[in-house]
Amino acid sequence: MPPPVTTPAGEQYSSWMGLIYVFNLIVGTGALTLPAAFASAGWLLSSIGLIMLASFSYITAGWVVEAMACANAIKHWRRVKQLKKRGLVTDELVNRTLENAAESDSNNHSFRSSIVSQSGSAGSIGSKIASVHSGGGSCGSVTADKHQASTSSGGVGISTAASAAVTGGIGVVGGSTSAGGNQGCLNNISSSNYSDALSSEDHEDQEETLLIQEVVIERTMGEYYAIQERVEMGEMAKLFFGKVWVKLFFVVLCLYLYGDLAIYEAAVAKSLRDIVCTYVPKNCSQILREHDPCFPHSDYSRLDIYRICVCSFVGLMGPFVFINLTKTKYMQILTTITRWIALVVMIAWAVVVLANGTAHGSPPVAQWKKLPDLFGVCVYSFMCHHSLPSLITPISNKSSIFKLLAADYLLILMFYLLLAFTGIFAFSHLEDLYTLNFMPDPCRQGQPLTFIYCVQIYLMLFPVFTLSTNFPIIAITLRNNLKGLMLRETRRYSFFTTRLLFPLLAIIPPTIIGLVTSNVEFLVGITGAYAGSIIQYVVPATLVYNARRMTLQRIGMGVRNPFISPVKANWCLYLIGSWAVVCWVFVSVYLLQPDTAET
């Protein structure tokens, strides 16, 4: 287990900034496929389904936050247990601080100081526990070595919250972290004596070395559940699941990332293809098919050019997967600005069409047969759970974290409904990628270069800009998780295996999928309905269930978890799990129907 990853005060941000980061994380590629899913399933049925799935997603996001607090508590408990074994902390001290924590908790103020970040030179509680620097005299210094999480932990994570917020998915697993503090020494124990004591402990104890003052123990024992260390979902799985379930978790995560990359390739290639191709049929309002020619008097079909665009995109962005791409701050800021300009322009455009009375959309009220397709798209559109630890942990004041999440989900739900409703009533036919509905009119050949025409080209290139910057990040994350899944930490591997094989394993499978199909809505539905629903529903439910059991057994009921989810009944866990299974069945039946056409 790597050293604790704490959040220094300089890297923290306010609650409102955290709200913005979560908003940017959730609103991504899935939003571009929502209008088409709404149009096919019917506006009333889609609205009910979207509201229900948003509620379920919020509930499971709350469970992830609760599991994060439990993970911090277990890691803190283990450290205190180690100190007790070495005689550095007495049972009297432990009992006294637990009693004080329980008493202050009954007065509803024991966790106020833990929720607000610690100020001054002492730093965060996680930093206090992570390492010790000598204060003078005979005390030595113990410093946690830097570690490379990308190849050893195999965990899910992102390097910064801002990176996660703009990628719309999982951020980079990697980067070096070092834990430090300035706590002094306890009972003038030298570093050599500490090493001797440490050598007699088991492997788990060796991985979580620390020295800590009694005053720090007494102050932090009641702060077991303070979310001070960033514990990613992969690390929580290792903490609360058995080895087999940990492997299954990483398999599902990798499948989800494969689907993500296939969606990116299809969306970018489809956008480029529609910009490049100039063929217009005799009936200029006719919907073009994959096997129609791309250019007048040419043997190249639109499908051929699409596949060329897929290969070109992978050839251009693929080499970044062979290196560690870390300096992406300004690129991601540009991506965020580009995304919001495009989304606002599309909503405003559709509103203008509706206001001018030139709208042609007449969507059905309900189409039950299309409901399974809507399920996958909605799950994908609300996906944020895998990156929540990296976004929630740096928030300085977490006292209202569930209210902030509720506000985020409510705003996103309203935004999605606005985007979908304006689109389905403004356009008679909706493309699976919503930006393609803003193409220049093919019936008006040779139109001058106007502002409207430039905006149309910008909207068509929007997926190219945003997804091109995100593709290497997601691919590197997949590469690192594949290493964590397949490689052993204690074994050395060849250059070909570590630097060539796994980048190729991350790139080739989604490229094959992208070459086979260009149906973005289909890919989003499949990814969200299966791997996405497991990560969004099953994993949070099982994590919080096991986390509650473990904290009850290890810590007991004397210290209350201030981050317990608003939906804490156990029957809700079974309800969400049953809902996921039912949806898998319906989606599978829908896909096996012979009339489920894929273009």
Q: What percent of the chain has pLDDT over 90?
A: 30
Predicted local confidence at residue 34, as pLDDT? 92
Report long-range pairs for 499-503 (Cβ below 8 Å, ≥24 apart).
499/322, 500/322, 503/318, 503/321, 503/322, 503/475, 503/479
Whether 261 shows a pLDDT value over 60: the answer reads: yes
Which token pair is 474?
A: 């997601």
Predicted local confidence at residue 416, as pLDDT? 94
Report yes or no on 554 lying in a domain.
yes
Report yes or no on 570 lying in a domain.
yes
Report yes or no on 3 lying in a domain.
no
pLDDT band (50, 70, 90) for residue 495: confident
Q: Are 64 and 423 in contact (CB under 8 A)?
A: no
The three state secondary structure string of 225-259 is: CCCCECCCHHHHHHHHCCHHHHHHHHHHHHHHHHH
Give pLDDT tens digits for 311-342: 999 999 999 888 876 556 677 778 888 888 99
Whether 527 shows a pLDDT value over 50: the answer reads: yes
Whether 471 shows a pLDDT value over 70: the answer reads: yes
Predicted local confidence at residue 324, as pLDDT? 74
Global confidence as pTM: 0.75
431 to each of 34, 434, 439, 524, how far by Cα in Å?
10, 6, 11, 14
- The span from the CA of 571 to the CA of 1, in Å, is 33
**What's the sign of the alpha-carbon dihedral 582, 586, 591, 594?**
positive
- The span from the CA of 502 to the CA of 481, in Å, is 10
Q: Which of 142-156, 255-269, 569-583 has the lowest mean pLDDT?
A: 142-156
Predicted local confidence at residue 289, as pLDDT? 85
pLDDT band (50, 70, 90) for residue 439: confident
Report yes or no on 187 lying in a domain.
no
Whether 453 shows a pLDDT value over 80: the answer reads: yes
- The span from the CA of 436 to the CA of 406, in Å, is 32
Give pLDDT tens digits for 150-183: 333 444 444 444 444 444 444 444 333 333 333 3
Question: What is the residue range of 52's domain?
Answer: 15-85+228-591
Q: How many domains does the chain have?
A: 1
Predicted local confidence at residue 23, as pLDDT? 86
Say how many Å lie between the first and final Cα of the chain, rounded.
46
Longest dimension (CA), the chain: 90
Q: Are 215 and 223 in contact (CB under 8 A)?
A: no
Mean local confidence (pLDDT), 438-444: 78
More confident residue, 53 or 358: 53
Report yes or no on 71 lying in a domain.
yes
Whether 91 shows a pLDDT value over 80: the answer reads: no
Closest to 572 in 3D by CA, of 531, 532, 540: 540
Residues with Cβ within 8 Å of residue 502, at least 6 apart in sequence = 479, 482, 483
Report yes or no on 159 lying in a domain.
no
Whether 400 shows a pLDDT value over 80: the answer reads: yes
Q: What's the CA dihedral at 50, 52, 56, 58 to 10 degrees?
A: 70
| DSSP per-residue string spanning 505-574 | HHHHHHHHHHHH---HHHHHHHHIIIIIHIIIIIHHHHHHHHHHHHHHHHT-SSS--TT--S---HHHHH
- The span from the CA of 540 to the CA of 581, in Å, is 15
Residues with Cβ within 8 Å of residue 362, at least 6 apart in sequence = 425, 428
Predicted local confidence at residue 223, as pLDDT? 67
Q: Are 576 and 59 in contact (CB under 8 A)?
A: yes
Predicted local confidence at residue 75, as pLDDT? 87
Predicted local confidence at residue 92, as pLDDT? 57
Whether 80 shows a pLDDT value over 90: the answer reads: no
Predicted local confidence at residue 88, as pLDDT? 60
Give pLDDT tens digits for 94-144: 555 555 555 555 554 443 444 333 333 333 333 333 333 333 333 333 333
More confident residue, 475 or 326: 475
Whether 582 shows a pLDDT value over 70: the answer reads: yes
Q: What is the mean pLDDT of the chain?
A: 76
Whether 438 shows a pLDDT value over 70: the answer reads: yes
Which token pair is 371?
A: 């409901």
Mean local confidence (pLDDT), 381-395: 88
- The span from the CA of 443 to the CA of 397, in Å, is 56
Predicted local confidence at residue 512, as pLDDT? 96
Whether 357 shows a pLDDT value over 90: the answer reads: no
Predicted local confidence at residue 120, as pLDDT? 37
Predicted local confidence at residue 63, as pLDDT? 95
Q: Which helix (H) or strand (E) holds 184?
A: none
Predicted local confidence at residue 47, as pLDDT? 94
Predicted local confidence at residue 154, as pLDDT? 41
Report yes or no on 130 lying in a domain.
no
Predicted local confidence at residue 207, as pLDDT? 41
Neighbouring-strand partners of residue 148: 176
Domain CATH number, residue 441: 1.20.1740.10
Report yes or no on 133 lying in a domain.
no
Residue carrying structure tokens 């050839």: 315
More confident residue, 410 or 228: 410
Neighbouring-strand partners of residue 424: none
pLDDT band (50, 70, 90) for residue 81: confident
Closest to 150 in 3D by CA, of 413, 506, 423, 420: 506
